[in-house]
A and B are shown apart, each in its own frame.
Chain A
Amino acid sequence: MIKKSAISIAYFLGSMAILIGLWQLVSIITKAEIPSPVSTWTVFKELMVEPFYDRGPNDKGIGNNLFSSIGRVFTGFLLGSIIAIPMGMLMGSTKIGMSLLNPIVQILKPVSPLAWFPLGLLAFKDSGGATIFIIAITSLWPTVINTAFGVSSIPQDHKNVGKAFGFSTWKYLTKIVIPYALPHIFTGLRLSIGIAWVVIVAGEMLSGGVGIGFFVWDSWNGLSLEKILVAILIIGLVGLILDKGFNALQNLFSWEGK
């Protein structure tokens, strides 16, 4: 067990070494137009001295920007999930639901978040609201699809239990449908939070004001590529943490293999 985790840590460090090596190489080739890992590290340390300063609009610490983004992501993701889970259940439990809703899902799913942005602005008259809107509407699809799949694949054996013992609709839903579909729902949520995190950066580049996406754009305007690279690394790390967190939740709620 200890040996196994030591090996995986060694692989992770190796992987990071390759990444930093490639980065250094690109930096050398571009004659430091792309900042080197060392100079980025210096800027990172500077940013970390005071990550939560607030000097009015458009001038906030990277920590403020990051947490504002995380807040928006979770708001949008939560709203999306509130729509997505019941919708997926409806699709998975009835043929009519599937036939009526599936074409809508298929048409709206590939739409770029940026295409939704003007509609959000129109609806909410506010770029913050619009950002949350585009996160909700682009991140809900994997949850819809996975929930529908989970609900529709409930084995006949489990359905028979409900039938044979006369379960009420509520009992059927809470004791059979939801527990069976829960691992699938969590798979969907995990994919959805991943999309939400990708969308936030694009959304905030348009919306401005505050957020990690805005921070990237603002750093570009201030010609600080080091800051952009720091932001990219932080975005990547937070994405990784979100994914691991949802993976842990998925395992927690999965009855399989118990």
Chain B
Amino acid sequence: MTNIGNSVKFVDSANDFHKINANETSVSIKDVTVSFKGSKGTFTAIKDINLEIKKGEIVALIGHSGCGKSTLMNTISGMVLPSKGEVIANGNPVKGPGPDRGIVFQNYSLLPWLTVYKNIYEAVDSVFKDKTSTEKHELVEENLKMVNLIQHKDKLPGQLSGGMKQRVAIARAFAINPSILLLDEPFGALDALTKGSMHIELLKLWNLDNRNKTIVMVTHDIEEAIFLSDRVVVMNNGPEATIKKIVDINLPRPRNKKDIAHDPEYIKVHDELLNLLFDKFSIED
């Protein structure tokens, strides 16, 4: 492992138990179309999308603003239901949000009147109705320790920095132990340095869980998508957005943030993604 600076490790940690269960399907999106009825008629955000995501995979959805990438992810979370087609998550058709799918929202969505501890506790309490309060308490503490926020557990979200808030949101999503983790532009509001360490934190948590959790994330950051994902799904511009191309990221793990930039594979994929996102601009501009 390589260290950059004194304290911030920009490197993904190693994991001896590395096993991607490459044959199990985690999410299956079948012919999904999402339309919204508005005052000016029907608006179709995404059209006829098909996508299979394997268990333990990290998949990034990338595209320009308003291309429907969040909408696509929300069909997995169940916050948006498809107008046509269906989404199968963990073998069950998605009919709404469920505890098998944890969501980290774009703007953290912490409840500002609850302490860090309480924000996580209420989610845990809601999902694990059968656990005793001691068990729930331990679960919350454990997850707070995982994101290094145990000493801030009695603070209100308003007293935290953006990166800390995001760690609370991630701890909350992990605490309900979902098999699928959905991240909606999770690091968009963070500065580059915080963002870098958050990437490592996320992969660390993923490794701790033996890479059993499927992660689907929406982003518009190419470097972030390459560093974290196994596959990057590039979307066309909406309305009626479709998948333009799925790019495999064949970079070995653990990945090193500093070294990765010089890897020929990284440079190739980076260029490819840039071109996929850029040609749209050059035609229209």
Contact = CB atoms under 8 A, between A and B. Distances in A.
A115 B198 CA distance: 65
A158 B112 CA distance: 9
Contacts of A257: 158
Given A158-B111, A175-B114, A179-B111, A167 B122 contact: yes
A57 interface: no
Interface string A133-175: 0000000000000000000000001101101111110010001
Nearest to A159: B109
B123 interface: yes
Contacts of B112: 255-256, 258
B111 A164 contact: no
Nearest to B172: A165
Contact of B98 (A158, A166, A180): A166
A157 B109 contact: yes
B111 A171 contact: no
A73 B194 CA distance: 55
Contact of B111 (A175, A256, A258): A175
Contact of A166 (B111, B114, B126, B159): B126
Contacts of B156: 255, 258
Interface string B62-106: 000000000000000101000000000000000011110011010
A167 B110 CA distance: 14
B177 interface: no
B233 to A, nearest CB: 22
Interface in B94-146: 96-99, 102-103, 105, 107, 109-114, 122-123, 125-127
Nearest to B119: A161
Interface in B136-172: 156, 158-159, 172
A164 B158 CA distance: 22
Interface in B38-58: none
Contacts of A165: 97, 99, 122-123, 126-127, 172, 176
Given A157-B107, A255-B156, A164 B122 contact: no
A158 B109 contact: yes
A176 B111 contact: yes
Contacts of A163: 79, 96-97
Interface residues of B, number: 26
Contacts of A158: 109, 111
Contacts of A180: 113
B127 A258 contact: no
A164 B97 contact: yes
Given A161-B109, A163-B79, A175 B122 contact: yes
Contacts of B77: 164
A257 B156 CA distance: 10
Contacts of B114: 175, 179
Interface in B188-221: none
A167 B105 contact: no
A89 to B, nearest CB: 17
Contact of B127 (A166, A255, A256): A166
Nearest to B108: A157
Contacts of B79: 160, 163-164
Contact of B113 (A160, A164, A179): A179
Given A171-B122, A258-B156, A258-B158, A166 B107 contact: no
B128 to A, nearest CB: 11
A175 B115 CA distance: 12
Interface in A7-55: none
B123 A160 contact: no
Contacts of A179: 111, 113-114
Contacts of B97: 163-166
A165 B105 CA distance: 12
A176 to B, nearest CB: 7
Given A161-B111, A258-B158, 16 more contacts: A158-B109, A160-B103, A161-B110, A161-B123, A163-B97, A164-B103, A165-B99, A166-B97, A176-B111, A179-B113, A255-B112, A255-B113, A255-B158, A258-B112, A258-B156, A258-B159
Interface of A: 157-158, 160-161, 163-168, 171, 175-176, 179-180, 255-258
18 contacts: A158-B109, A158-B111, A161-B109, A161-B123, A163-B79, A164-B79, A164-B97, A165-B127, A165-B172, A166-B98, A168-B126, A171-B122, A175-B111, A175-B114, A255-B156, A256-B112, A258-B112, A258-B158
Interface of B: 77, 79, 96-99, 102-103, 105, 107, 109-114, 122-123, 125-127, 156, 158-159, 172, 176
